[in-house]
Amino acid sequence: MTPDIDPVIELNKLTKFYGKSRGIIDVDLSVKRGEVFGFLGPNGAGKSTAIRTILDLIRPTSGWARVNGMDPTKEGAKVRRSVGYLPSDFGTYKSMTAKAYLRTLLEMMDYRGQDRIEELAGRLDLDLKRRIKDFSRGNRQKIGVVSAFMHNPKLAILDEPTTGLDPLMQQEFYRIVLEEKSKENTVFLSSHILAEVESICDRVGIIREGRLIMVENMSTFKKKTGKVLNVEFDRKVDPYIFMSLPGVSDIKVGEENILIMTVSSHIDGVIKELARHTIIDLTYDEVSLEDLFLKYYGKENVSHNRNGARGVVQ
Amino acid sequence: MKLPLFKAAFKDQQTSMWVYVGVMLFYGLLIMVAFLSVEDMLSEPFSSVEGITLTKIGTNDEYDVFNLKWETRTGTAAHVAFGLDLDEGMDWANFTLDDIEGFNMSQVQDLFEDHFGNISLGEYLKDDPMLMEFFENYTGDHSGNMHYPAPIPFPDGKSGIELVYFGEGTYVNFTNSGSSLLFVVGLIPNDWNLSNITFLGPVSSMDLMQISDFDEYLEENPMMKAFFGEEMISFTEIEGFIALEYFSMWPLMLLIFLAIKTGGTVSKHVDDQSIDILLATGYSRFRFLNEKMLVVAMNLALVVIAAWVGVILGVFMIGKPVPVAGITIAFLGSVPLAFGMVGLSLLLSVLIDESSKTTGAIMGLTIFMFMIQIVSNIAGWQDGLGYISLFTYYDMNQLMVHRTFDAVNIILPSVIGMVSMIASYILFKKKEIHA
C-alpha cells in the first residue's frame, strides 16, 4: 500500500448536519501513511464531528470517508478495530483498576501481540493498580492515551489528546507520537492549540465553522503563521523601522512603549535592529489560533466564529 | 468464547446486584416468619368466657373449622352446643341469650324433634342408651363425641340456631358451615329437666371472622381484589399466603429491579461517554448489546434463584411442608414478564441518551403499568385496557395454587419483549452516538 495510491484516511465532500445545525461541510482530505496530521480548529469547529464520522459513531449526511481502505458506514467495527482511538472526553468502568480496564479493552480488541500497557504507563507515570474512580482528569486522560497506542495500531486517531495532561506529560506524549511516526505509523490528531500542532505535525488542516479552509505542510504553515514578538522599549520607537525588515508581517503599537510584531522568518534582522535600542521586556510567543484567523480571515469573521460556533457542534 | 465486555459490565454492576440478591433471600425468609404470626394469631382462642373457649383450627373448603371446648360440672348428664346466627346491628356489649330471637328451650326441643320425630329429647336420651349410641354413630365424631353437622336455619330467616354438638364429651371440632356468630353450650342436668340447663357462653366468632374471612373481605373489596388478583384463595393456607403476600408483590419487585438493571444498558454508556472507547475496540454494536443483555440475563437469573431459595428456605424453616412445585412455577411464570420488561427497558435505553432520564422513564412506565392493572381490575377492563400492562400477564393464584401456565400470559409478554428487543437492536445499529 503506497501512500499516494491508497491514503490511510480519505474524506470526500464529507458533510454532516445535525438536523439544520451545521456539523461539517464538504470536507475533502487525504492523510498519508506515516505522517502526523494535525486537525486544527477552535472548539465547536467540527473536529470531533469529522472524527466521529470517520469512526462510524455518527453517519455522514453526504460525502464519504475511507479509513484503511474501508467504508466506515459499511464496516464500522472493522474500521474501529484497525485504529487506536482516543476520544476528546470519555468514561470508563470506574470501579476497575486502570490495568484491569486496559486489559479488558485489549481482550475486546482480541489483540494477541505484545502490548504496550506497562511501557506506556511507565512513561506517562500512570499508576495501573489504582482504581479509575480515584484518578484525576489528567490521569484518566493518560488511560486514554495508553488505550490508543497499547495495541500497536498502524493508525491512531486522537481527539484533543493532551487535554488535562500537565506540560511534562504533554512532552512525553509528543515523544510517543513522534516515535509512531518513526515507525511509519500514522497519527491523526485534533487540537485547538497551534503550538502543539506545530511541534509534532507534518501537515496541518484548519477547520473552521465546519469547513476545512486550509491544508498545508508544516514548514509552509509556519512561514505563514510566524510568531508574535512583544517588545517593551525604554522610549517610544518608530514602528516603521521594523515594518521594513524582512519576515515582519504585521506590527501594532501597544500601550506605553510596546511594539507587537508578527515575525514569520528572518528573526535575525529583527534582533539586530532590537539590539540598537534599550529593551525593558521581551516575549516571543506562538500566534494564537484566534490571531491566526484574524490575520487570514478578518476580524468580523473571527467574532462570528466565536459566537456562531458555540454549542453547534458536539 | 470470550466475553470481556460481559465480564467487565457484570463486575461493574455486581454490588447492587448482590444487595438485591441478599434482599430477596432475606425477604423470603422474613415473609414466612410473618406467616407464623398470622397462624399464631388465628390459633389463639379469640373468644373465651368462663368455662368455654372457641378456637379456630383451620379451614375446610370455604368454611372455618373451630374447636369449641368447655368445662363440665358434676351433676351433668350431657352437653349440647349451639351455634347462633344473629341479626347484624345487635348490642353485643349487653347481649344475653334472651336477646336471641326464638331461643328458648321449646325451640331447642323442636330442633331435636325435627330430626327425631315427635319424641321428647329428654325422655329419649335419658331412658334409651341405644338412642345415644345411634346419635353417636349418626354424627360419626371420631372422638366419640358427637356433633350435629348440618346448619338448621330457623324459619323466620332472620336469626337461627344450629346444633353443633350433643353428647357427653367436653369439646367438639366442627366446620362452621352455618356461619354461626355465637356459640353456647348447655349443661343438661342428670334429671334431664331441660328447663334447668346451665348455659356457658356465649363465645363469639366475630373477631375471628374479621381475620379468617379475609378472603371474603377481598371478594367484597374491589380495590383489594385488584391488588391481590381475580381469584381469591385462602390467606390462612401456606400456599395461599405465599401467593397473596409474596407473589402479589413479586412482579413489581422484579420489574423495578430489571428497570434499574436494563435502563443503563446503552444510555449509561452514551451519557458518560464510555461507549466511545468500548466501541473503538472493534466491537460491533450487535455484540455490544449481546454481552450487555447477557449481564441482564445473569442478574435476572441470580435474583430469581435467590428469591426462590429465600421462599423455599423460609417455608422449610417454619416447619411447613414446602410447596416446591407451586413456588417454582410461580417464579417461572414471571420470566415472560421479565422478558417483556427487559425489552421495553432496552428500547428506552436506546432511545434516551441521558441515563437518569432513561431510568426515570422506565420507572414511570413500570408504575404506570402497575396502576393500569389495578384500575382495570377494579373496573373489569382486564380484556381491554389491562392488556397494555405487563402486570396483567401474571396470575399468582393460577401459577402458585393451581400450578398451571396460561398460554396468553406466556405469549403476550414474550411477544412484547421480542418486538421491543428487535426494535432496540435495529435502532441501536442505526443510532448516532454523540459526544
Q: Where in chain A is the domain with CATH 3.30.70.100?
A: 227-286
Tell me what pLDDT residue A253 has.
Answer: 87
The ipTM value here is 0.84
Nearest to B12 among A76, A85, A93 (CB): A93
Please determine, for residue A211, whether its predicted confidence score (pLDDT) is greater than 90: yes
> How confident is the model at residue A244, as a pLDDT?
84
Nearest CA in chain A to B7: A104
Say if residue B143's pLDDT is above 60.
Answer: no
Note if the bond before A87 is cis, omega within 30 degrees.
no
**Would the pLDDT of B86 be above 70?**
no
Type of residue numbered B343: G
User: Which residues 244-303 of B are in CB contact (within 8 Å) with A?
Assistant: 269, 272-274, 276-285, 287
Average pLDDT for chain A: 87
Residues from chain B that touch A89, judged by Cβ atoms under 8 A, are: 273, 435
Asked if B278's CB is within 8 angstroms of A80's CB, the reply is no
Q: Which CATH class is domain A9-223?
A: alpha beta
Q: Give the model's pLDDT for residue A208.
A: 87
Give DSSP secondary structure letters for chain A. Answer: --TTTS-SEEEEEEEEEETTEEEEEEEEEEE-TT-EEEEE--TTSSHHHHHHHHTTSS--SEEEEEETTB-TTTSHHHHHHTEEEE-SS----TTSBHHHHHHHHHHHHT--S---HHHHHHHTT--TTSBGGG--HHHHHHHHHHHHHTT--SEEEEESTTTT--HHHHHHHHHHHHHHHHTT-EEEEEES-HHHHHHH-SEEEEEETTEEEEEEEHHHHHHHH-EEEEEEESS---THHHHTSTTEEEEEE-STTEEEEEE-S-HHHHHHHHTTS-EEEEEEEEPPHHHHHHHHHHHHHHHHHHHHHTTT--
Q: Cα(B393)–Cα(B391) distance, rounded to whole angstroms? A: 5
Domain with CATH 3.40.50.300 in chain A: 9-223
Q: Which of B12, B273, B434 minimises the CB distance to A90?
A: B273
pLDDT exceeds 60 at position B152 = no
User: Parallel, antiparallel, or unpaired: how do β-strands A62-67 and A9-18 relate?
Assistant: antiparallel
Candidates B17, B268, B276, B287: best to mutate against A (most CBs of A within 10 A) is B276
Q: Does position A234 have pLDDT exceeding 80, yes or no?
A: yes
**Nearest-CA distance A90 → chain B (Å):** 5
Quickly state the pLDDT bin for B161 (edges 50, 70, 90). low
- pLDDT (tens digit per residue) in A91-146: 999 999 999 999 999 999 999 999 999 999 999 999 999 999 999 999 999 999 99
pLDDT tens digits along B208-259:
444 445 555 555 555 555 544 444 445 556 777 888 788 888 999 999 999 8
Is the pLDDT assigned to residue A5 strictly greater than 60? no
What percent of chain B lies above the pLDDT cut of 90?
34
pLDDT at residue A163 tops 70: yes
Q: Where are the domains of chain B?
A: 4-39+214-430, 47-204
Structure-block grid coordinates of residue A180: 509512531
Lookup: cell for A265? 522568518
* pLDDT for position B225: 53
Q: Which CATH number fits domain A227-286: 3.40.50.300, 3.30.70.1350, 3.30.70.100, 3.40.190.10?
A: 3.30.70.100
| Closest Cα in chain B, distance from residue A154 (Å) | 14
Q: Does A135 touch chain B (CB under 8 A)?
A: no
More confidently predicted of B141 and B101: B101
- Please write the tens of the pLDDT for every residue from B182-218: 788 888 888 776 667 777 877 777 654 444 455 555 5
Range with the poorest average pLDDT among A226-230, B42-46, B415-419: B42-46
Question: Residue B8 and residue A314: Cβ atoms within 8 Å?
Answer: no
A177-188 residue pLDDT tens: 999 999 999 999
The mean-pLDDT minimum among A26-40, B7-21, B140-154, B340-354 falls in: B140-154
Mean pLDDT taken over chain B = 77
